[in-house]
Amino acid sequence: MSLSLHQYLAREEALHGLDPVLTRLLTSVSEACKAISFKVRNGALAGVLGAAGTSNVQGEDQKKLDVISNDIFVEAVARSGAVCGMLSEEVETVMSVPEDCPVGPYLIAFDPLDGSSNIDINVSIGSIFSVLPCVRPKRDCVEADFLQPGRNQVAAGYCMYGPQTQLVLTLGRGVVMFTLDPTTGTFILTREDVRVERAAKEFAINCSNMRHWEAPVKRYIAELLEGKTGVRGKDFNMRWIAAMVAEVHRILQRGGIFMYPRDHRDLSKPGKLRLMYEANPMSMLIENAGGAATTGRQAILDVVPEKVHQRVAVFLGAAEEVELVTGYHLESDAGMER
Ligand SMILES: O=P(O)(O)OC[C@H]1O[C@](O)(COP(=O)(O)O)[C@@H](O)[C@@H]1O
Ligand SMILES: [Mg+2]
Ligand SMILES: [Mg+2]
């Protein structure tokens, strides 16, 4: 019998004591994702393609869909009565809930539209979310309330707008996938107990940055590229979709490793991806599927953030590969100390 997201969350409440307020929040997130999915499906017909003509806190040009998706998320989540603060890639400061909305015990961080460079070419994109507890729920939450390690997350996930719209979720007890039935507008559970194998034969990295990488990353990638004839003794395949949601989605289903290392392009940016609404939720998913996620030097989920929009290097996926490349970083650091 097929289970809807609503029924799945009710089952989690009954079997594992899932907080009904968290259920309400996740339901609001799923409604936001559904609304974004409908916009994406209609593309040019809905007038959602192209640039917005503005830039975000990262100094990146915003696409219309970045702004539209952000507005949809903020509206849905603020009205859930489940949060006391929101953090978005598209908004510089943390957002409080409006006066006419009740305040709840959670904080939510989100990347409303991931893979923005794919929007106008009709390639997979997504939305990513991370839910943290709020120690002192109040209307005027501040940045400091969000500065918690990813280990504190109580739920995390993403929705991918690809050939199908799929919502992928962890509550800290494994990873489950739902597929949106476009005829009824219901998310239906289509995969449970998602696992990432320890070994891998596929990797994802943007090789155009190779000259800027640190030595351990250059070493690791060089060994993968040598294939059967090199120290690894096997051939590896490569993919790069330029949307973290799509890369993680592939890895959750057929394995592999995804990397966006820190590089020397701009020393003020330790990596491209953002810790709180990209790396943390994806790391929680990957760890819950039996994989690993590090900065090359420590588990991503143990990083204590200093700023809400902070960037971080990311190596995630198959545990064997993540452990190997992390080992190369630690060896290299130890060598430099000597
Ligand atoms: O264009 P690059 O440098 O390959 O970067 C791709 C990476 O940037 C991101 O698109 C960043 O996400 P946004 O679209 O939310 O800014 C990741 O999803 C992806 O892995
Ligand atoms: Mg993103
Ligand atoms: Mg984004």
Is residue 269 over pLDDT 90?
no
Q: Say which residue the tokens 């907080």 belong to.
A: 19
Quick one: average pLDDT of 106-116? Answer: 97
Q: What is the dihedral of CA 224, 225, 228, 229, to 10 degrees?
A: -120
CA 290 distance to own-chain centroid: 16
pLDDT > 90? residue 54? no
Neighbours of 27 (CB within 10 A): 17
Centre of ligand 2 to C-alpha 89, Å, is 8
Domain map of the chain by residue range?
5-191, 202-337
The mean pLDDT of 110-133, rounded to a whole number, is 97
Average pLDDT over residues 12-25: 98
Q: What separation in Å is there between the alpha carbon of 111 and the centre of ligand 2? A: 6
Least distant ligand from the CA of 60: 1
| DSSP element (H, E) containing 317 | strand 314-317
The CA-based angle 300-302-305, given to 5 degrees, is 85
Helix (H, G, I), strand (E, B) or coil at 268: coil
Closest CA to ligand 1's atom 15: 114
pLDDT of residue 336: 65
pLDDT band (50, 70, 90) for residue 223? very high
pLDDT(78) > 50: yes
Q: Is 113 known to sit in a ligand binding site?
A: yes
Q: Is pLDDT of 27 > 80?
A: yes
Kindly indicate whether the domain formed by 202-337 is annotated with CATH number 3.30.360.10.
no
Q: State the ligand closest to the CA atom of 243.
A: 1
In angstroms, the CA 314 to CA 120 distance is 26
- Alpha carbon of 244 to ligand 1 centroid (Å): 6
- Cα 52 from Cα 233, distance rounded (Å): 48
CB 115 within 8 A of CB 60: no
pLDDT score for 338? 42
Predicted local confidence at residue 136, as pLDDT: 82
Rounded to whole angstroms, how far apart are CA atoms 221 and 260? Answer: 12
Distance CA 2, CA 274 (A): 35
Give the max Cα distance, the chain: 65
- State mean pLDDT over 59-86: 94
- Binding-site residues, ligand 1, Cβ < 6 A: 89, 111, 114-117, 206, 242-244, 260, 272
ipTM above 0.95, yes or no: yes
AA letter at 62: Q
Dihedral over Cα of 160, 161, 162, 164: its sign = positive
Is 278 annotated as contributing to ligand binding? yes
Q: At the topology level of CATH, where does 5-191 sit?
A: Fructose-1,6-Bisphosphatase; Chain A, domain 1 (3.30.540)
The Å distance, Cα 136 to ligand 2 centre, comes to 29
Q: What is the percent of the chain with per-residue pLDDT over 90, rounded to a whole number?
A: 87
Round the average pLDDT of the chain to a whole number and report it: 95
| Residue in the block written with tokens 């060598």 | 335
Report the pLDDT averaged over residues 270-289. 97
